[in-house]
Amino acid sequence: MATIKDVARHAGVSVTTVSHVVNKTRFVSDEGRERVEQAIRELGYVPSAVARSLQRSATNTLGMLIPNSSNPYFAEIVRGIEDRCFGAGYNLLLCNTDDEPRRQGAVLQVLAERRIDGLIVVSSGEDPALPDLLKGLRVPTVMVDREIDTLPCDLVETAHMQGAVAAVQHLAALGHRRIACIGGPAGVATAQQRTEGWRIGMAGLGLSASPELLHPGDFTSEGGYAAMHAILRQSSRPSAVFAANDLMAIGALCAAYECGVAVPDELSLVGFDDIEPARFSCPPLSTVAQPKLRIANLAVDMLLERIEGRRQEPRKVVLQPELRVRASSAPYRGDRQ
């Protein structure tokens, strides 16, 4: 591979001149710049990103930590963040913890070695070591979806509790009174907030949120599938179900189909997130939509504000979700209340 010295020799200029042309650090005459650029083209010279980052103390690279790259919700967030990064002249280095909190430390070490300029984090649940690990990176950090109270960094999230309340109110307005909930994994703040929103929504309408109506889930389709089978085995079945994310709701739809329970004629169902497959399930899924593109854009913009020194104090943004009513929820038609 051609080196900067080869380019300088080919163009008949100094190495310093080539460096100024490549890095745009000083004025170089039009004639000198054209000679350098022609030499770069002819030799196929590619500037070393590592060397440039050491010189400038910046890599134009952002890191991102997500719990599960196979979850369409995170995939849609990542796509929005990548687009925003590209438009701002930054690369994105993505790491997946596979829903294992203990892997976060190892992944953060990898990101630190890559000399990232900033970090976007969706945490993987309870990990007491995570706040200290993030502080140790000493780079601007934005949390998405899942707040860490002890960490003074930026946060972008959706009002998860209010979204769950809206789902319950929608089902109750359709005449449903016995509304079950498929909750998310223990230790994940968003799951806890959505389950609490279900309880608050039920209490606000004078409905019972008894323990037999709450079924554990894990934010996967398999978890929703298993939970729905458990719900349908109950002697006193609910007429509606709120699933704390769309993946579980899609798994629940499959279980209902296997059991011969028609959705929404015999059982209404509402999810949370509005991932793309929700529109194409059978029937299309009613859900609480998170503003994913706005979350992605805000996360990148807030991070660049900190990187560029335009803001010092941490900022918290809570976005409002929106109920999307589709064909999986309908008025109550039975007598199982």
CATH code assigned at 35: 1.10.260.40
Radius of gyration of the chain, Cα coordinates, nearest whole angstrom: 26
Q: Is residue 167 part of a domain?
A: yes
Judge if 153 and 297 occupy the same domain: yes
**Strand, coil or helix: 43:** helix
Q: Is residue 23 part of a domain?
A: yes
The two tokens of residue 22 are 């490549």
Average pLDDT rounded to a whole number, residues 168-193: 95
Judge if 119 and 174 occupy the same domain: no
244: Cα separation from own chain's centroid? 15
**Domain containing residue 125: CATH number:** 3.40.50.2300
Give pLDDT tens digits for 240-251: 999 999 999 999
Taking Cα atoms as reference points, which of 320, 317, 298 lies closest to residue 159?
320
Q: Is residue 205 part of a domain?
A: yes
**Pairing assessment for the beta strands 268-273 and 214-215 based on DSSP bridges:** unpaired
Single pTM value for the model: 0.82
The secondary structure of 222-257 as a DSSP string is: HHHHHHHHHHHTSSS--SEEEESSHHHHHHHHHHHH
In sequence order, the 6+-apart residues with CB closer than 8 A to the CB of 253 are 228, 263, 269, 281, 282, 283, 285, 328
Confidence (pLDDT) at 337 = 44
Give pLDDT tens digits for 253-298: 999 999 999 999 999 999 999 999 999 999 999 999 999 999 999 9
Host domain of residue 27? 4-47
Judge if 146 and 206 occupy the same domain: no
Confidence (pLDDT) at 336 = 46
Question: For residue 7, is pLDDT > 80?
Answer: yes
Confidence (pLDDT) at 335 = 57
Confidence (pLDDT) at 54 = 46
Question: For residue 52, is pLDDT > 70?
Answer: no
Judge if 180 and 127 occupy the same domain: no
Instruction: Report DSSP state, residue 321.
Output: P
Question: For residue 117, is pLDDT > 60?
Answer: yes
Question: For residue 128, is pLDDT > 90?
Answer: no
Judge if 247 and 275 occupy the same domain: yes
User: How many percent of the chain have pLDDT more than 90?
Assistant: 68
Judge if 284 and 176 occupy the same domain: yes
Judge if 106 and 164 occupy the same domain: no
Q: Is residue 195 part of a domain?
A: yes
Average pLDDT rounded to a whole number, residues 235-241: 95
Residue 328 binned pLDDT confidence (cut-offs 50, 70, 90): very high
Taking Cα atoms as reference points, which of 284, 278, 295, 270 lies closest to residue 74?
295
Judge if 193 and 111 occupy the same domain: no
Residue 84 binned pLDDT confidence (cut-offs 50, 70, 90): very high
Report whether 283 contacts 328 (CB < 8 A): yes
Q: Is residue 296 part of a domain?
A: yes
In sequence order, the 6+-apart residues with CB closer than 8 A to the CB of 4 are 15, 18, 19, 22, 45, 47
Judge if 102 and 151 occupy the same domain: yes
Report whether 142 contacts 120 (CB < 8 A): yes
Judge if 128 and 224 occupy the same domain: no
Please provide the average confidence, as pLDDT, over all residues in the chain: 90
Judge if 275 and 303 occupy the same domain: no
Residue 48 binned pLDDT confidence (cut-offs 50, 70, 90): low
Report whether 173 contacts 325 (CB < 8 A): no
Report how many domains make up the chain.
3
Q: Is residue 56 part of a domain?
A: no
- Residue type at position 38: Q
What number of other Cβ atoms are within 10 A of residue 112's Cβ?
Answer: 16
Judge if 182 and 281 occupy the same domain: yes
Least confident segment among 12-16, 177-181, 226-230: 12-16
Q: Is residue 328 part of a domain?
A: no
Q: Is residue 331 part of a domain?
A: no
Report whether 251 contacts 224 (CB < 8 A): yes
